[in-house]
């Protein structure tokens, strides 16, 4: 399996607290939020987030053209920033990269962001570019699996994986029903980049051990986007915390057993948090062998749910703690799909 050489993260300039989000929602409705809804939104486990634009932008009508322009401007800048920092951490030049993979479900461009990065950042013109749309919140784990496979091809390659989401561009100021208000209170913007290498060498770096994926039948309505008149409209129809207990837990049990691992063999997992209740359901699943997932909670608290990049934010922080046991990666996304992975930190394989 391939090595994880570096991870870097980037967020937009506009920081907003959860209290400010609640005030924006009340302004958009033209009335105070119902007490019960305000309590639900205030107990999301999020203190602050980062958005592509200032709060006022989200209270105005926006066309597809407007949203595409923001995705181009902000998304390109974040992708280049995260990619540049990942290269610096890995002590690699753009010319050392063989493949650029972009994971993104909140916008799209043609030519793609990776194609535009070739000239802008000095990648070799022969660099393969692979934009992937539709993975949603499972994107980083599924993207790492794809990067791992690509890194093993052609006798060994260096792969730059970029996970970029501007979830705030899906907000629709005219549709402040309960579902959209919950989405507005959870989702955020961010970008992460990782370099995965299959080249032979003495590099001491974490290595991937295994990946798993399962898509359940009759679950298409659980999570995703519908294409609306002015942007992507959120599909979020079922109780995901209950799904974690009923369906995800047995799948994860079987995955770990297949790798000869018990829960007690793991260090703290890197989980896509979803929201506060999803984190609680995951903690219940890991207990009592693992005492919580504090880094996942910390990333949710400081950044909200950024969709696909979130797991890489968590994994980056966990690796800085120099764990001495394997790290389980978990994410749930559209399909409805579970994505799992195992990373062996340096010296644990």
Cα angle 277-280-284, degrees, rounded to a multiple of 5 = 140
Convert the pLDDT of each residue in 141-196 to its tens digit: 999 999 999 999 999 999 999 999 999 888 766 666 666 777 777 889 999 999 99
Domains 3-197 and 207-344 share a fold: yes
- Homologous superfamily (CATH) of 3-197 is Thiolase/Chalcone synthase (3.40.47.10)
Question: Where in the chain are the domains?
Answer: 3-197, 207-344
Gap between the Cα atoms of 174 and 171, Å rounded: 9
Q: What is the second-level CATH architecture of the domain 207-344?
A: 3-Layer(aba) Sandwich (3.40)
SS3 of residue 302 by DSSP: helix
Give backbone dihedrals phi and psi of 279, rounded to 5 degrees, phi first: -60, -45
Tell me what pLDDT residue 89 has. 96
* pLDDT recorded at residue 178: 67
- Token pair for residue 93? 């030049």
| pLDDT tens-place string over residues 64-87 | 888 899 999 999 999 999 999 999
Q: Full-prediction pTM beyond 0.85?
A: yes
Nearest to 172 by CA among 233, 225, 119, 213: 233
């Amino acid at each position: 399996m391939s090595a994880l050489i570096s991870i870097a993260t980037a967020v937009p300039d506009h920081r907003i607290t959860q209290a400010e989000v609640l005030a924006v929602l009340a302004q958009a409705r033209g009335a105070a939020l119902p007490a019960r809804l305000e309590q639900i939104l205030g107990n999301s486990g999020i203190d602050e987030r980062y958005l592509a634009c200032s709060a006022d932008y989200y209270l105005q009508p926006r066309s597809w053209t407007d949203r595409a322009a923001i995705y181009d401007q902000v998304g390109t800048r974040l992708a280049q920033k995260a990619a540049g920092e990942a290269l610096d951490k890995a002590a690699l030049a753009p010319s050392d990269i063989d493949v650029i993979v972009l994971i993104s479900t909140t916008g799209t461009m043609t030519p793609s962001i990776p194609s535009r990065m070739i000239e802008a950042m000095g990648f070799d013109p022969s660099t393969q570019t692979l934009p992937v749309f539709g993975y949603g919140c499972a994107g980083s784990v599924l993207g790492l699996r794809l990067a791992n496979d690509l890194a093993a091809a052609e006798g060994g390659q260096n792969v730059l994986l970029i996970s970029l989401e501007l979830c705030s561009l899906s907000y629709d100021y005219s549709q402040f029903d309960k579902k959209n208000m919950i989405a507005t209170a959870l989702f955020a913007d961010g970008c992460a980049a990782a370099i995965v290498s299959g080249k032979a060498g003495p590099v001491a770096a974490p290595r991937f051990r295994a990946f798993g994926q399962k898509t359940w039948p009759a679950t298409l309505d659980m999570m995703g986007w519908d294409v609306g008149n002015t942007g992507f409209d959120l599909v979020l129809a079922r109780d995901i915390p209950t799904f974690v207990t009923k369906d995800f837990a047995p799948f994860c049990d079987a995955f770990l057993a297949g790798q000869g691992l018990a829960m007690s063999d793991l260090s703290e997992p890197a989980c896509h948090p979803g929201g506060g209740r999803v984190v609680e359901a995951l903690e219940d699943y890991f207990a009592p062998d693992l005492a919580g997932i504090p880094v996942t909670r910390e990333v949710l608290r400081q950044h909200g749910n950024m969709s696909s990049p979130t797991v890489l934010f968590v994994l980056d922080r966990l690796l800085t703690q120099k764990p001495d046991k394997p790290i389980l990666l978990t994410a749930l996304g559209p399909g409805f799909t579970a994505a799992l992975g195992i990373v062996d930190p340096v010296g644990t394989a």
